[in-house]
Copies of this chain bind each other. A is one copy, B any other.
Amino acid sequence: MYRFISELYPICRSITGQGIRDTFGRIQQHIPLSITAVPSGTQVFDWTVPLEWNIRDAYVADRQGVRVIDFKQSNLHVVSYSTPIAARMPLRELKAHLFTLPDHPDWIPYRTSYYKESWGFCLSHRQYLDLRDEDYDVVIDSSLKPGHLTYGEYYLPGDTAEEVLISCHACHPSLCNDNLSGIAVATFLAKSLQTSSRRRYSYRFLFLPVTIGAITWLALNQQKVSNIKHGFVLTGVGDEGGFTYKKSRVGHADIDEAFAHVLRHSGESFEVTEFIPYGYDERQYGSPGFNLPVGCFMRRANGGYPEYHTSGDNLDFVKPTSLSRSLQVVQSVVEVLESDRGYVNTSPYCEPQLGKRGLYRTIGGNVTGRSAEMALLWVLNLSDGDHTLLKIAERAGLPFLTIKLAADALEGQGLLRPAG
Contacts and interface: CB of A to CB of B under 8 A. Distances in A.
Interface of A: 44-47, 115-116, 211, 214-215, 218-219, 222, 249, 276-278, 283-284, 286-291, 345, 347-353, 355-356, 374, 377-378, 380-384, 396
Contacts of A249: 381
Given A278-B374, A288-B345, A374-B278, A46 B350 contact: yes
A351 B382 CA distance: 42
Closest 3 CB pairs of A and B: A289-B348, A277-B381, A289-B349
A251 to B, nearest CB: 11
Contacts of A277: 351, 374, 377-378, 380-381
A286 B351 CA distance: 9
Given A47-B353, A290-B349, 5 more contacts: A46-B350, A219-B350, A286-B381, A287-B381, A288-B348
17 contacts: A46-B350, A46-B351, A46-B352, A47-B350, A47-B353, A276-B374, A276-B378, A276-B396, A277-B377, A277-B380, A283-B377, A286-B381, A287-B348, A287-B350, A287-B351, A290-B349, A290-B350
Q: Which of A276, A277, A378 has the most CB of B within 10 A?
A: A277
A399 B171 CA distance: 35
B356 A115 contact: yes
Given A249-B381, A278-B377, A381-B249, A351 B284 contact: yes
A347 B45 contact: yes
A201 to B, nearest CB: 24
A378 B347 CA distance: 47
Nearest to A225: B349
Given A278-B377, A381-B249, A350 B116 contact: no
A44 B381 CA distance: 18
Contacts of A222: 349
A115 B349 contact: no
A411 to B, nearest CB: 16
A116 B355 contact: yes
Contacts of A383: 288
